[in-house]
């Protein structure tokens, strides 16, 4: 099994152009403190991302709340920090503030960041990413664990753990009215 790899910065700073020019080779690229993070993803990971992304997109578009993005979007949080959550939501209000141009990275954090754990992920890196999302203005984060078929919901108020397939993942303050049973995310 291939693991997430943190490659120490070999350059002073990664430009947006250099990051966008990295190979499309089945890896997701992010910047953590100037170091390049390269993560492989597998089928289960991709399947869950698509399921959740589709559910969120239908909900968000029907209410014209903003945009839902997959992991190919980059959120430039600082010159040495670029994160790409597996799924994310940006409200119309926030999008007006953080969009520079349609073909550029967004310059700020999403309202909701979703990370789907892969066998290659380390607890240290995931915890660091969650901290960074909140430090830069994210209001909620969902950590989806396919192996345990569980979701941890992080907000400024605390953490809620959903561990049963009958449990309902709710949008909270960020996506009021969104509800999804965990059984819709995880294949039996």
**For 67-97, how does the pLDDT look when each residue is reduced to its tens digit (9 = 90+)?**
999 998 999 999 889 999 999 999 999 999 9
Residues 84 and 74: their CA atoms lie apart, in Å, by: 5
Contact between residue 21 and residue 87 where contact means Cβ atoms under 8 Å apart? no
Rounded mean pLDDT, 149-164: 96
Exposed, middle or buried: residue 42 (CB in 10 Å: 0-12, 13-18, 19+)? middle
Percent of the chain with pLDDT over 70: 90
Residues 150 and 185: their CA atoms lie apart, in Å, by: 10
R_g (Cα) of the chain, nearest Å: 16
Say if residue 3's pLDDT is above 90.
no
Number of residues assigned to the chain? 188
- The phi and psi torsions of 8 (rounded to 5 degrees) equal -55, 145
Residues 28 and 12: their CA atoms lie apart, in Å, by: 21
Residues 56 and 58: their CA atoms lie apart, in Å, by: 6
Say if residue 178's pLDDT is above 60.
yes
Query: Global pTM?
Result: 0.86
Question: Can you list the domains of the chain with their CATH numbers?
Answer: 42-184 (3.90.1570.10)
**For 90-140, how does the pLDDT look when each residue is reduced to its tens digit (9 = 90+)?**
999 999 999 998 889 999 999 999 999 987 788 888 999 999 999 999 999
Say if residue 2's pLDDT is above 50.
no
Q: What pLDDT, on the 0 to 100 scale, is given for residue 10?
A: 57
């Amino acid at each position: 099994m291939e693991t997430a790899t943190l490659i120490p910065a070999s350059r002073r700073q990664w430009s947006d152009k250099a990051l966008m020019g990295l190979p499309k080779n089945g890896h997701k690229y992010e910047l953590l403190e100037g170091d390049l993070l390269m993560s492989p993803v597998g089928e289960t990971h991709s399947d869950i991302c698509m399921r959740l992304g589709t559910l969120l997109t239908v909900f968000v578009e029907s209410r014209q709340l903003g945009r839902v993005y997959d992991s190919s979007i980059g959120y430039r949080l600082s010159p040495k920090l670029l994160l790409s959550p597996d799924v994310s939501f940006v409200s119309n209000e926030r999008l007006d503030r953080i969009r520079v141009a349609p073909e550029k990275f967004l310059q700020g954090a999403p309202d909701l960041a979703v990370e789907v754990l892969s066998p290659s992920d380390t607890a240290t890196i995931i915890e660091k990413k969650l901290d960074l999302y909140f430090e830069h203005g994210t209001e909620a984060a969902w950590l989806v664990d396919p192996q345990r078929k569980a979701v941890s919901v992080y907000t400024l108020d605390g953490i809620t753990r959903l561990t049963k397939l009958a449990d309902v993942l709710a949008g909270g303050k960020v996506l009021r009215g969104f509800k999804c049973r965990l059984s819709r995310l995880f294949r039996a």
